[in-house]
Amino acid sequence: MRSWIKTALWLGVVLPAGAALAASETEAIKDRLRPEERPQQAYDTAGSLALASLTTIRPMARKSVAPAAQDALAPAREVDGDANAGFQRWITAFKIRAQTQGIGAATLRAAFNGVTYDASVIKRDRNQSEFTKTIWDYLDSAASESRVRNGTKALDAHRNTLERIEKHFGVDKEIVVAVWGLESSYGSFRGDMDIIRSLATLAYDGRRGDFFEEQLIAALKIIEAGDVNPRTMTGSWAGAMGHTQFIPTSYLDYAVDFTGDGKRDIWSDTPTDALASTAAYLKAFGWVTGQPWGIEVVLPRGFDFTLANRKIQKSPREWADLGVRATDGRPIKDHGVASILLPAGGTGAAFMIFKNFSVLERYNTADAYVIGVGHLSDRLKGGEKIKGSWPRGDRALTFTERKELQERLTRAGFSTEGIDGRIGPKTIAAVRAYQSAKGLMPDGYASLSLLEKLR
C-alpha cells in the first residue's frame, strides 16, 4: 500500500468506493490536504504556515483559543485507574449540566449510549509538531490540476443547485465549490469520527474544556432538533462536520434547510444543505456580491513596501496612480477599497485584496487558506494560474526559529511585543522596522535569511 494511502487510512477518512466527483480514488486521496497541511489560525502572514492542532474546527466566529505552542506544553488530564471510568463519571455530571441548558433526557440517553473515552482523539490533540508549510507548497495542492478538474465536475454535477444558491445568497457558486474542495475534497473526505464521542473526550480532557463542552451542548441541540441521529453525526476528530466542515455552534447559527425537507442535513451524500449553509455563512459575514476576493497584481519598480499593509486601504484608482497594475498591465477596476498583500514578501506574488478576502477569513483566518479558496474559485471560472514567482528556494521557519526570530528582533530594539512563535501584525511590523533600519527591502517577510542576518 502506498504511503499516502496509509496516511489517509490512519486519519480515519472514508475512502469512497468509486467517488463520482473524483477521477479515481487514488487521485482523490493524493490530492487531499491532510489536517496537518491545512492552515488553521493566522499565525503566519509572511509566507509560511504555523499550524495549530485545532485542525478542522471551522467555520467559526473568532474565539479566543490558547496558542498551539502553549497548548502543546499542557499535560494530559490526570485520571485515577481506568481513563474510561473517569470519563463515565464526567458524563454523569455533564448530563446534569446539559439538562439545565434544555437538553432532554431521551436525547442524552441516545447520544451517550455506548460512548466511551477515545484516547486516539487526545493523541491527535496533543500532536503539536513544528510542521510548517510554505504558502506556495500549500497552493500547489489547494489549486492543483486534479482539484480544479474535480471541482469542474462538481460544478457541472450540481450546477442547477449551485445557481439557485448563488441567486439566493449572492455568493459566487465557484467560491462555494472551492470551500467544498478544500474542506472535504468535494465530499470525498467528510470524516467518520463519532462527533459526540470526540467532543465529550475533548471536553473531559480539560485542556480546552469550556470550548469543547460548548460544542458538545450545541451538538446535542442539533440531535434534539431531529436534524441527525447521534451515530450518523460524524466528522473530524475535533468536531467539524459535513461537506464543508461546520462546527456545531456554527451549524446552529448558520446552517440552512435548502432542500425544504425539514432538516438541515450537512452529512448526507447530497451536498445541497451543506453548500447552501456555506453560502449563508459567508453572506452573514458580509459577502459583497460581484466583488472579487482579490486580484493578482504587479508592483512597480521602487514600490514602497511599507504600503503593503492590511490597515492601508486605497481605491484601485489610487493604487493605479502608484503604479500598481493587473498582471496584464491594466489598472484594476473599481471593486471598492483594497489593500496590497505580499504573502511571501517582496519577491513573491502580490495581490490586491478586497472586503471579500476578510469575509473568507471568517471561515479560516490563515492567508494561505483564503488565497487557496480564492485562487481555486478563479480557476473554476476559467482563470489562469498565479503568474508571480515564489521564493521557492526558501523554506518555512520552524516554530523554534520563529520564536528565536522574535527574541532576536526584540533584543535588537525592534520589539515584537511577545515571544509566541506567531508571525502576526506586531512581528511583521518589527521585521519591517528592522529591515528599514538595515537598508533591506521592508516587506515584513520573516524569512530564514532574515533570521540568519539577526544571528
Give the tens place of pLDDT for each residue, 129-184. 555 789 999 999 999 999 999 999 999 999 999 999 999 999 999 999 999 999 99
Task: Report whether 403 contacts 419 (CB < 8 A).
Answer: yes
Range list for CATH 1.10.8.350 in the chain: 83-126+192-235
Cis before 59? omega within 30: yes
Higher pLDDT, 109 or 81: 109
Answer positive or negative: Cα dihedral of 37, 38, 44, 46. Answer: positive
18: left (phi over 0), alpha (psi -120 to 50) or beta: left
Mean pLDDT of 331-349: 96
Cell digits of residue 261: 425537507
CA–CA separation, 300 vs 331, rounded Å? 12
Task: Report whether 420 contacts 67 (CB < 8 A).
Answer: yes
pLDDT of 204: 96
Beta-carbon count within 10 A of 6 CB: 10
Task: Report whether 40 contacts 218 (CB < 8 A).
Answer: no
pLDDT tens digit sequence for 403-436: 999 999 999 999 999 999 888 889 999 999 999 9
pLDDT tens digit sequence for 213-236: 999 999 999 999 999 999 999 999
What share of the chain has pLDDT > 90, as a percent?
76
Of 445, 439, 408, nearest to 47 by C-alpha is: 445
Answer positive or negative: Cα dihedral of 328, 329, 334, 337. Answer: positive
Helix axes 145-157, 173-184, angle to 10 degrees: 120
Of 227, 221, 232, 231, nearest to 262 by C-alpha is: 227
- Integer CA distances (angstroms), 135 to 141, 161, 369, 391, in order: 10, 32, 9, 10
Amino acid at 455: R
pLDDT of 68: 37
pLDDT tens digit sequence for 23-73: 333 333 344 453 334 454 332 333 333 333 333 335 544 343 333 333 433
- The owner of cell 521557519 is 397
CA–CA separation, 173 vs 166, rounded Å? 6
Beta-carbon count within 10 A of 65 CB: 15
Asked if the model's pLDDT at residue 316 lies above 50, the reply is yes
pLDDT of 58: 55
pLDDT of 63: 40
Asked if the model's pLDDT at residue 450 lies above 60, the reply is yes
Higher pLDDT, 19 or 450: 450
Q: What band does 297 get if pLDDT is binned at 50, 70 and 90?
A: very high
Q: How many residues does the chain have?
A: 455
- The owner of cell 494511502 is 5
- Integer CA distances (angstroms), 203 to 94, 117, 219, 395, in order: 10, 11, 13, 36
Task: Report whether 35 contacts 13 (CB < 8 A).
Answer: no
pLDDT tens digit sequence for 360-401: 999 998 899 999 999 999 999 999 999 999 999 999 999 899
pLDDT of 11: 31
State the chain's mean pLDDT as an integer: 85
What share of the chain has pLDDT > 70, as a percent?
81
Q: Which CATH architecture has domain 83-126+192-235?
A: Orthogonal Bundle (1.10)
Q: Using CB atoms within 10 Å of the CB of residue 157, give its burial: 0 to 12 exposed, 13 to 18 middle, 19+ buried.
A: middle
